[in-house]
């Protein structure tokens, strides 16, 4: 469900929101992810409803993933862009398997609803941080066409 949701977010939803600025779309993506993750906790005991809401939460993650690279490119100086992008993708490729190991260990010890709630709070925090931040002035006008 997560892979299908990310694919839909990166293609279908992105096309619908591409008239918005990158910052607006990123805010929508993080808010939607937080909201739908909270709804997964609420719908936990109803399998089909849970599955659909879970898929929808990953649609919003796919949307945010589309806009991460343009945001980095807009905020980092061109003289440092190669270093920053190399570092970004190195960190992503290293942390993915480490996160999988850590969360597989923790999954046996914690309730799934707690995980979903923590992820919802994490994305809500990103939304609030990005909403309140004035450090992304260049991203405000960035638009993909």
Does residue 145 register a pLDDT over 60?
A: no
Q: Are 62 and 38 in contact (CB under 8 A)?
A: no
The pTM assigned to this predicted structure is 0.78
Does residue 124 register a pLDDT over 80?
A: yes
Q: What digits encode the pLDDT tens for the residues 56-68?
A: 999 998 888 887 8
pLDDT at 10: 84
DSSP H helices, 43-111, are 47-75, 81-107
Distance, CA of 40 to CA of 51 (rounded, Å): 8
Distance, CA of 73 to CA of 95 (rounded, Å): 21
pLDDT, mean of residues 46-58: 93
Q: Specify the range with the lowest mean pLDDT, choosing from 39-43, 103-107, 130-134, 140-144.
A: 140-144
Please tell me which residue, 69 or 85, carries the higher pLDDT value: 85
pLDDT at 54: 92
Share of the chain above pLDDT 90, in %: 25
């Amino acid at each position: 469900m997560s892979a299908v949701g990310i694919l839909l977010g990166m293609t279908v939803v992105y096309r619908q929101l591409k008239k918005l600025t990158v910052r607006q779309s990123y805010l929508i993506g993080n808010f939607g992810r937080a909201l739908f993750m909270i709804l997964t906790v609420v719908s936990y005991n109803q399998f089909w409803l849970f599955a659909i809401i879970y898929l929808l939460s990953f649609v919003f993650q796919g949307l945010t993933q589309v806009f991460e690279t343009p945001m980095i490119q807009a905020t980092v100086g061109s003289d440092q862009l190669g270093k920053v992008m190399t570092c970004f993708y190195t960190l992503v490729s290293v942390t993915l398997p480490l996160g999988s190991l850590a969360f597989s260990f923790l999954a046996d010890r914690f309730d799934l609803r707690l995980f979903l709630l923590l992820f919802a709070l994490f994305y809500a925090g990103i939304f609030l941080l990005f909403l309140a931040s004035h450090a992304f002035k260049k991203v405000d006008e960035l638009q993909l066409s």
